Amino acid sequence: MTTIKDIAKVAGVSVTTVSRALNGYSDVSEKTRKKIELIAKELNYSPNTLARSLVMNKSKTIGLLISGIHKGMIKDDFMVEILAGIDDYVAYTDYDLILFSTNSTKQREKTYSQLIRERKVDGVILQGMKTEDPYLKEVVESDIPCVLIDIPIKSSTVGYVTTDNVLGAKKATEYLIGLGHKNIAMMNGHNFAFVSQSRLEGYLEALNEADIAVNWEWIVNGEFEESVAERVATYLLTKNPEITAIFCASDLMAFGTMKAAKNLGISVPDELSIIGFDDILLASYVTPPLTTIAQDKFEMGYQAAKLLLEMLENREGVHGIYLDTELKVRESTKSR
């Protein structure tokens, strides 16, 4: 492997000159620069980023801390789209991505922040962490720049990008109300997700503004999992046959709810309207196609990467980004 030392030797100059020439500094004569560049090419030289990072104290890598790289990823394309968005932005920079998958099942003896510090990433993007995750605190409190997906924490080194979940949930609920529904249940995720809190808020707002009394027994948690949602929905629908519509805080949970309805012989959308949240790929393929609130996941990733790099280069940027949602009307909802 050629080093600048080799080049220096061949060119008959010092390593400093080589370094300067190759890095485009102005204080090197055009002649020597040309010579050095030529030799570098001939020797098939590539710089050793390790050495460079060590001395410059920045690695030009950004860490991606993602949870559940395997479990959810297949059916729920949320993570994949985020990743695609991040990649799309990062591809045009000189940063590379290093993946830290926080597989909860595996007993990593090292904490995330240890990993991050060891690998000397310049910044990190966090996705899929629960609000009470001890590591979240650890990372946020460290001085390493990070941007959080769907967790609105802001500081000089922390930014976030998320969807306007309150408004999104409100839109969903209002749509149901507009359809003539009054007995609208909500299948939420769990209490350790900011998005759940926000979506609940939107749901409540919509009900309040329409002067519909809130029935707290109709607000349940499906843990963002299809199977849990199915179980919970089965119970909910059996106990409360008067429910005519359900707003689900994720498409996957909407699928579970649809299954529950099917098993109970409740027809969707004739007897029960179901609306989801996310607009994952499958949403338009299930039967009936799912009406849902679409979030722009790709854009979330893109904006997250953009924000992080802005922070890294000390360019001022907005540290808190809210993305819009869009109602996708399909066939799982019907006017009453």
Partner DNA sequence: TTGAAAGCGCTAACAT
Partner DNA sequence: ATGTTAGCGCTTTCAA
Q: Which residue has the tokens 């769907």?
A: 150
| Binding range to DNA, per CB under 7 A, among 16-24, 129-137, 191-199, 258-266 | 16-24
Q: Which is nearer to a copy of itself, 119 or 154 (CB)?
A: 119
- Report how many residues bind a copy of itself under the rule CB under 8 A: 48
Q: Is the four-CA dihedral 320, 203, 175, 72 of positive or negative sign?
A: positive
CB count, 10 Å around CB of 70? Answer: 9
Q: Which is nearer to a copy of itself, 62 or 243 (CB)?
A: 62
| Binding range to a copy of itself, per CB under 8 A, among 15-23, 35-43, 214-222, 284-292 | 284-292
Site for a copy of itself in 32-61 (CB under 8 A): 46-51, 53-54, 59, 61
Distance of CA 221 to the CA centre of its chain: 21
Name which of a copy of itself, DNA, none residue 88 binds, using a CB cut-off of 5 to 8 Å depending on partner kind: a copy of itself
CB count, 10 Å around CB of 51? Answer: 11
- State the nearest-atom distance from the C-beta of 137 to a copy of itself, in Å: 15
DSSP 52-95: HHHHHT--SEEEEEEE-TTTTTTT-THHHHHHHHHHHHHTTSS-
Name which of a copy of itself, DNA, none residue 32 binds, using a CB cut-off of 5 to 8 Å depending on partner kind: DNA
Q: Are 311 and 148 in contact (CB under 8 A)?
A: no
- Report how many residues bind DNA under the rule CB under 7 A: 30
Spatial separation of the C-alpha atoms in residues 203 and 219, rounded to whole Å: 10
Spatial separation of the C-alpha atoms in residues 127 and 304, rounded to whole Å: 10
The reply to whether 143 sits near DNA by the rule CB under 7 A is no
The reply to whether 20 sits near DNA by the rule CB under 7 A is yes
**One of 41, 55, 94, 314 touching DNA (CB under 7 A):** 55
Q: Which two tokens stand for residue 324?
A: 């819009």
Q: Which is nearer to a copy of itself, 46 or 238 (CB)?
A: 46
The reply to whether 19 sits near DNA by the rule CB under 7 A is yes
Spatial separation of the C-alpha atoms in residues 123 and 188, rounded to whole Å: 32
Binding site for DNA (CB under 7 A): 1, 3-5, 12-17, 19-20, 22-23, 26-29, 31-33, 45, 47-48, 51-52, 54-57
